[in-house]
Amino acid sequence: MSLFSGSETKKTLARLKGELEEAHERMRVLDNFAGVGLWQAVLHQGDPMHAKSRWTWSPEFRRLVGFTSESEFPDVVSSWSDRLHPEDVEPTFAKFGAHLGDASGRTPYDAVYRLKMRDGSYRWFRATGGCARGPAGEPLRACGSLVDIHAQKTTEEAQRRAGEDQARTVSLLGTGLRHLTERDLTYRLNEPFGKDYEKLRGDFNSAMDTLQQVMLAVNSNVQAIQSGTQTVAASSDDLSRRTEQQAATLEETAAALDEITATMKKSAEGAAHARKAVANADENAKSSSSVVKQAVAGMEGIAKSAQQISQIIGVMDEIAFQTNLLALNAGVEAARAGEAGRGFAVVASEVRALAQRSAEAAKEIKGLISTSTAQTEQGVLLVAETGRSLEQILVQVAEINVIISDIAAGAQEQATGLQEVNRAVNEMDQVTQQNAAMVSEVTGSSHSLSREINELSALVAQFQVGASGDDLRGELRKAAPHAFRTNAPPRVAPKSGPAARPLAKKVANGGIAGGDAQGGWDEF
């Protein structure tokens, strides 16, 4: 007796037929429109490569590989295995074999590989699948899907390559930065970077070139500044020493001018007194001239009186002679008279004696008068000569008065001018003292700057710039020609000034004269 009646069997068959058709339609849709390539294999004795194993590739599988028909891509395992990339054959079969060999089914089949397309290019795919097993766990049927992951894999590969390029770039750039940290400016990144990072290598090398040129210029400028600061420091020291000497000399000059001013003031006062004395002498000379003229007139009157006295003495001498003659005649007459004339004879004798004495006295007076007249004439001549001398003295005293007046006026003007010069020199002394203090500060600053430049030079010298000595300036002239343009004049070594001279002592010992005075002012 049948398990099912005829009608039920038909219904069951119809239902099964409908389900089978539905399954076939679903498989057709999946094969054609699911976007994945389906495959299956009926394994003979669990060996996927056995000739009796049957492989089936869906149309979508063929389309993913670039084929459209079964004749182009037949349902055999070699259609797939022969298109595996040589590098992917062993790992792919190893994964598939591990999946088939695990009876527990816990080892999945998930492989990524490359298949050769119809045009000969390779494309990345991901294959996943599983298998149905027998009672003993042996694989009976395997199936799975194939998904095109070329875009994803290409992106991953690009990311991987980008990561490798980035890591390599970071490593090389780190090496360059380490050299930069070690102050080596001669290092360059000569190994090419990836195309996305090649510009970074160029920028780094360009930055190193620029930094090297800058450091070369800085090094050269530091050397030039160091030389300049040494020159400035030496000049400042010399200027400070000369300024101190000048300040000391100017101080002594100011003291000397003070003494000169005082001396000139005294000279002006002495000239004023001398002018007054000469004026008095002029007045006295004029008075003396008048007195001498009066004396000359008096001496001339005395000479005339002496001449008159001499004439009177002559008259008296004649009178004495006549008297003597009369006395003689009287004696003769008395002798003739005899006794009667004896008394008259005595009188006549006395008169005669008196006449003789008068004659002798007149003779003596005449001699004295002659001597006096000669002396008076000599005195008149001397007084006349004295008058002429006094007149010359008066003229010379007048000239001396004019000269002394001019000298007094000039001395006064010189005293006024020296006061102005003294005031100016005192102001110069103050300014020079301030300049000396300022020069001392500048000298200290120049030494401090020199020390700082030396420290900067030591810091710059730590960088390896790939040039030294004479090559440095030549490279810099090519790299930055304006860095070497200078308008600074050549330095002239300062003349070593003589030591400050004791001017005040020279003034005290008689003033500054000749070459000493010129030598003293040469210091300024």
- Given a cut of 50, whether residue 521 has pLDDT beyond it is no
- Where is average pLDDT lowest: 87-91, 266-270, 484-488? 484-488
Confidence of residue 486 (pLDDT cuts 50, 70, 90): very low
Q: What average pLDDT does the chain have?
A: 78
Average pLDDT over residues 447-471: 73
Q: How far is CA 2 from the centre of its chain?
A: 126
- Given a cut of 60, whether residue 425 has pLDDT beyond it is yes
- Residue 229 has what pLDDT? 79
State the alpha helices, DSSP H only, in 146-197: 150-181
Q: Which residue has the higher pLDDT, 87 or 302?
A: 87
Average pLDDT over residues 118-141: 91
- Given a cut of 90, whether residue 122 has pLDDT beyond it is yes
Residues 6+ apart with CB under 8 A from 155: none
Q: Which DSSP category does 107 fall into?
A: S
Residues 6+ apart with CB under 8 A from 168: 193, 194
Among 107, 108, 94, 100, smallest CA distance to 137 is for 100
- Residue 407 has what pLDDT? 82
Q: Which residue has the higher pLDDT, 89 or 402?
A: 89
Q: Which residue has the higher pLDDT, 266 or 518?
A: 266
- Where is average pLDDT lowest: 19-33, 51-65, 332-346, 362-376? 19-33
Q: Could you give the percent of the chain with pLDDT greater than 70? A: 85
- Given a cut of 80, whether residue 518 has pLDDT beyond it is no
Confidence of residue 515 (pLDDT cuts 50, 70, 90): very low
d(CA 498, CA 512): 17
- Residue 27 has what pLDDT? 63
Q: Could you give the percent of the chain with pLDDT greater than 90? A: 17
- Given a cut of 90, whether residue 215 has pLDDT beyond it is no
Average pLDDT over residues 395-414: 79
- Residue 115 has what pLDDT? 95
115-149 burial, b at 16+ Cβ within 10 Å, e below that, comes to: beeeeeebbbbbbebebebeeeeebeebebbbbbe
- Given a cut of 60, whether residue 394 has pLDDT beyond it is yes
Average pLDDT over residues 19-41: 71
d(CA 188, CA 241): 52
- Four-way CATH pick for 34-148: 3.30.1360.120, 3.30.450.20, 3.30.450.90, 3.40.718.10: 3.30.450.20
Q: Any idea which residue has 């290092």 for tokens?
A: 187
d(CA 96, CA 125): 15
Q: Which residue has the higher pLDDT, 43 or 235?
A: 43
- Given a cut of 90, whether residue 88 has pLDDT beyond it is yes
Domain ranges of the chain: 34-148, 242-488
pTM value > 0.85: no
- Residue 480 has what pLDDT? 47
- Residue 90 has what pLDDT? 95
- Where is average pLDDT lowest: 48-52, 122-126, 294-298, 401-405? 294-298
Q: In the CATH scheme, what is the homologous superfamily, with its name and number, of domain 242-488?
A: Methyl-accepting chemotaxis protein (1.10.287.950)
Average pLDDT over residues 259-271: 77
